[in-house]
Amino acid sequence: MRIIVENNYDEMSRTAAGIVADEVRRKPDCVLGLATGSTPLGMYRELIAMYQREELDFSGIKTFNLDEYFTLPPDHPQSYHYFMFENFFNHINVPKEQIHLPQGTATDIQKACQEYEKAIAQAGGIDLLVLGIGENGHIGFNEPAERLQVGTHLADLTEETVRVNSRFFPSLPKVPRQAVTMGLGTILKARRILLLANGLRKAPAIKETVSGFITTKCPASLLQVHPDMTLILDREAASLLKNQI
């Protein structure tokens, strides 16, 4: 695992954007896996700026998002669909039909999850997957548990995640308790993974992620087995790492 520690959030975002941009230039029809949350926002802003300066062309890429809240329709302001269009897709030239997100409102969720896996495989698999991390070590919505699921599935959110994510909702009861997420197998099949984290609140989960041990109590720790995995951190998120850097 490669660990890059930057001084602050903006530098972390620029470094991440630089890696994504290099991938898009190297392979204009690459398949990107994308995350939501406050962490990758700066990276999206950098990529949009590169597109506006005509340094990048997204017309050939395909995207697959990690997760979506169960029951939220795409036009719901707190849905991840809405987030991605507002913060990224509406500002670049990726054609709509090349954008994929799990469907939170599918009538047959099981079938929709299988189709999502199939669509990723048909696209040739994910070339570069960008991840954030939850304070409890979750990736996508794969929460700490005794057993972790391999493929895309409907997941129950922990109380802690519901509480942490309630900052984006008008009130706690409005936060969905379930979400459709790529599984650990879907994530680990990506050819290259970037995990971004900033701030002190993420430091314990990051420590666990590079601990040298794997535990389903910290789903991100499984990333240690991946052959091409890069962590991009700010100083605060890296503050509990000593010998690893």
Catalytic residue among 23, 143, 208, 236, which?
143
Question: What are the angstrom distances between the C-alpha of 167 and each of 78, 163, 164?
Answer: 11, 8, 6
Asked if 175 is part of the footprint of ligand GLP (rule: CB under 6 A), the reply reads no
Question: What are the angstrom distances between the C-alpha of 76 and each of 54, 71, 82, 243?
Answer: 31, 10, 6, 44
In the set 22, 27, 29, 38, which binds ligand GLP (CB under 6 A)? 38
Asked if 32 is part of the footprint of ligand GLP (rule: CB under 6 A), the reply reads no
Catalytic residue among 6, 67, 208, 236, which?
67
Among 99-107, 130-138, 209-217, 232-240, the segment contacting ligand GLP (CB under 6 A): 130-138
In SS3 terms, the chain reads as CEEEEECCHHHHHHHHHHHHHHHHHHCCCCEEEECCCCCCHHHHHHHHHHHHCCCCCCCCCEEEECEEECCCCCCCCCCHHHHHHHHCHHHCCCCHHHEECCCCCCCCHHHHHHHHHHHHHHCCCCCEEEECCCCCCCECCECCCCCCCCCCEEEECCHHHHHHHHHHCCCHHHCCCEEEECCHHHHHCCCEEEEEECCHHHHHHHHHHCCCCCCCCCHHHHHHHCCCEEEEEECCCCCCCCCCC
In the set 32, 61, 66, 184, which binds ligand GLP (CB under 6 A)? 66
In the set 1, 14, 37, 49, which binds ligand GLP (CB under 6 A)? 37
CB nearer to ligand GLP: give 6 or 67: 67
Residue 226 known to be catalytic:
no
CB nearer to ligand GLP: give 161 or 221: 161
d(CA 106, CA 119): 16
Asked if 104 is part of the footprint of ligand GLP (rule: CB under 6 A), the reply reads no
Among 33-41, 71-79, 107-115, 207-215, the segment contacting ligand GLP (CB under 6 A): 33-41
Residue 81 known to be catalytic:
no
Q: What is the DSSP letter of 139?
A: B
Residue 138 known to be catalytic:
yes
Asked if 110 is part of the footprint of ligand GLP (rule: CB under 6 A), the reply reads no
Residue 135 known to be catalytic:
no
**Binding footprint of ligand GLP, residue count (CB under 6 A):** 14
Shortest reach from residue 140's CB to ligand GLP, in Å: 5
In the set 33, 102, 104, 134, which binds ligand GLP (CB under 6 A)? 134
In the set 84, 141, 144, 237, which binds ligand GLP (CB under 6 A)? 141
- Active site amino acids: 67, 136, 138, 143
Which residues contact ligand GLP (rule: CB under 6 A)?
A: 35-39, 66-67, 132-134, 140-141, 161, 165
